[in-house]
Each structure stands twice: as C-alpha cells, then as structure tokens.
Copies of this chain bind each other. A is one copy, B any other.
Amino acid sequence: MTNHIAKQIHLISRPSGMPSHEHFKLVEVELPAPDAGEVLVKNHYMSVDPYMRGRMRENAVYAEAYALNSVMYGGAVGEVIESADPSLQAGDIVLNGAAWQDKFVAKANTLSKLEPFDPDQLSLYLGTLGMPGLTAYVGLFKFGEPKPGETVFVSAASGAVGANVCQIAKLKGCRVIGSVGSDAKAKWLLDECGVDAVINYKTCGDLTQALADAAPDGVDVYFENVGGDHLQAALNVMNPYGRIAACGMIASYNNAEPAPGPNNLMLIVGKKIRINGFIVSDHGDMRDQFLSEMVPWIQEGKIKSRETVFEGIDNAIDAFLGLFSGENFGKMVVKLD
C-alpha cells in the first residue's frame, strides 16, 4: 500500500471585494493510509457554489467560516480507492463534503454511499440531484408554496438552483418567469425548459417594468437568488400575500462595502408579504421525497440540466470566480479526473 499525494486548494487570505487567485494556494500533501474505520477517496467531481463566498469571510453567518491556510470544503462526488471500514468497498461512489481536493482520507461514516441512477451522470449529484436541486425543491414547496396557476418569478433562473425552481414550478402547474444575464440562457429556459417568459436583466431596461410586462397577473412567489434590484422589482410587482423564498443574494456577495437595499420595503407590510430566509442543510428530512420525485423527472426528460464543467483542480478557482461573472451556464462543476 503506497501513500497518495493529494492536491488541495487552501484559502490563504480573506478577500474583501471580489476574490482572486492571490487569496488561494494549491498545496500538495501526502495522505496517510486509512486507519480502521476510514477510507481513501478519489474525487471525480467537486462543486463550486456561490454560498462558498460567505465562508471566506471571518464573520460568516450562513455556514461555518473556512479556516485560513487549510483546505476549503464543499460538495464532491468520489470513488472509494481503499477502505478500512466494512461499510464501504473500493469502487463505491460516495457523496462527500470534502471538495477542493482530489483525494482525501476520512471516516467512512462521514460519507454517503450513492447508488447512481446513471454512472455517467455522477455530477448530477452535485446539481439537480444534489444540494442545489434540494434547495430549489425545499425553497419552492416549503416557503414559496405556489398554487397551480400562480406566477413564480425566479432570479438567476438558469443557475444550478434557479433552473430547477423554474422546471419544478412548471411541473406543478405554475406560470414561470425567469431572470438571466444572457440571451443564450434565456433561449435555453424558453426552448428547453418550457419557462413562460424570461427577462435578460442586463438588456431589459427598467427591471420593474420588464417584470410587470412579463407578469400581467402579478407575481405570487419570488424565488430570491440575487437581491438588490431584483428584490426591489419583485416587491413592486408582487401580489398581496406573495411569498419570497430567500435562498441567496449573490448581487451582494463580493461587496467590500455594504450596498443599500431596495427602496420599497414598505411594500412588505402593504402587500402582507412573507419572506423566509432558509438554508438547505436544515431540511435534509425532505431529501427522500425530493429524490423520489426528481429522479423519475430526469429519467423522463421532464427536468433538464445544464452544466459548465472546468477540468482539473488547477482550474477550480477559475470555476469559482466564474460564478460571479455569470460565466457558468447552469451548474458549475470541476472534473477532477
């Protein structure tokens, strides 16, 4: 049994505004052989997600802050290479929280063994069948609570979470309006995903007007991924008793200084709106129900997934940074081997 060399990405300083390569470092470490109860895993895919930006702050509130000069973490799908635990065998596919490295040793009971419905689509377990997909499902049903025939507005609508919100809401009989930052994304949502109307927020002019035009009956549910102008427009166009599922506000993640919020928050009172901030990790109890609906939808072609795949851990930082420039189309993943 030879020891393995793992490549890891460490956070070496905390970015104030937009992160760049200087804040990160590629480090090679020699892994020990797995002790009893442990396994050695080779990651096939790792996830980069906008929420990771918050973990780079010292005062992270959403999820624990990354420590400096140590490997970051996040979702990944890997394969067991060596096992010193009876619950897992070499060749088993495992969902794990040990991203930002291509190999690692961990206790077997910290990993979730997958029975992939298609071994060629492992990366789906980081997107449509993973945390972003469950986020869409939880946010929509637990907090948005759309009724058939209601109008659902989704920002970052072609993203890893948003595209699932759009398509699930369509399957549940809603009228769906998405906001995206490119015409290619708009076209995909309209042509492939059956979304009813899409706004390109970069070219539409006044966002409130564009949303009002796209939603002649008003907005009943807003799935919030962006914040700022999008929240302001959504409040302007929402119907009384509208619900906002607040999943993220990516517009603010890289602000070095806090930016002012929407100027129309009084509409929360006036329209009797409910807003729920949420984090998917509180709602693991919905995972079985989620997978029982989502896997068949994928197999039947009712839910489409787009991915942007970067190759190799050397490109993981670029993949992460691409989340904030809108370079990704759908779920951004890094293929590690």
Q: Give A contacts to B, CB under 8 Å.
A: 54, 61-62, 224, 227, 231, 240, 246-249, 252-253, 258-279, 282
Decide if A268 touches B260 in the complex (CB within 8 Å). Answer: no
Closest residue on chain B to residue A143 by CB atoms: B274
Closest residue on chain B to residue A247 by CB atoms: B269
Cβ–Cβ < 8 Å partners of A269 in chain B: 62, 224, 246-249, 277-279
Minimum Cβ distance to chain B for residue A57 (Å): 10
Say which residue of B62, B261, B266, B267 sits within 8 Å of A263 (CB atoms).
Answer: B261
Given the contacts A227-B266, A261-B263, A277 and B272 also touching, CB distance less than 8 Å: yes
Contact sample, A vs B, 22 pairs, CB 8 Å cutoff:
A54-B270, A227-B265, A231-B265, A246-B268, A246-B269, A248-B269, A249-B265, A249-B269, A253-B266, A258-B263, A260-B260, A260-B263, A261-B261, A261-B265, A262-B265, A268-B277, A269-B278, A272-B282, A273-B277, A274-B275, A274-B277, A275-B276
Closest residue on chain B to residue A63 by CB atoms: B270
Closest residue on chain B to residue A282 by CB atoms: B272
Minimum Cβ distance to chain B for residue A245 (Å): 10
Decide if A274 touches B272 in the complex (CB within 8 Å). Answer: no
Given the contacts A274-B277, A275-B274, A276-B274, A258 and B264 also touching, CB distance less than 8 Å: yes
Cβ–Cβ < 8 Å partners of A274 in chain B: 274-277
Of A224, A247, A262, A268, which is in contact with the most chain B CB atoms at under 10 Å from its CB?
A268
Cβ–Cβ < 8 Å partners of A275 in chain B: 268, 273-276
Say which residue of B258, B262, B270 sits within 8 Å of A61 (CB atoms).
Answer: B270
Cβ–Cβ < 8 Å partners of A231 in chain B: 265
Minimum Cβ distance to chain B for residue A153 (Å): 17
Given the contacts A258-B264, A261-B263, A265-B261, A271 and B61 also touching, CB distance less than 8 Å: yes
Cβ–Cβ < 8 Å partners of A265 in chain B: 227, 231, 249, 252, 261-262
Cβ–Cβ < 8 Å partners of A61 in chain B: 240, 267, 270-271
Minimum Cβ distance to chain B for residue A310 (Å): 26
Distance of A20 Cα from B259 Cα, bound (Å): 34
The 9 A-B pairs of least Cβ separation, nearest first, read: A260-B260, A261-B261, A258-B263, A61-B270, A62-B270, A268-B277, A275-B275, A269-B277, A249-B266
Further pairs besides A260-B262, A272-B278, A273-B275: 14, Cβ < 8 Å: A61-B240, A61-B270, A62-B269, A62-B270, A249-B265, A252-B266, A258-B263, A261-B264, A267-B277, A269-B277, A272-B279, A273-B277, A274-B274, A275-B275
Minimum Cβ distance to chain B for residue A287 (Å): 18
Cβ–Cβ < 8 Å partners of A272 in chain B: 276-279, 282
Closest residue on chain B to residue A252 by CB atoms: B266
Cβ–Cβ < 8 Å partners of A240 in chain B: 61
Closest residue on chain B to residue A251 by CB atoms: B266
Distance of A136 Cα from B272 Cα, bound (Å): 16
Distance of A224 Cα from B265 Cα, bound (Å): 12
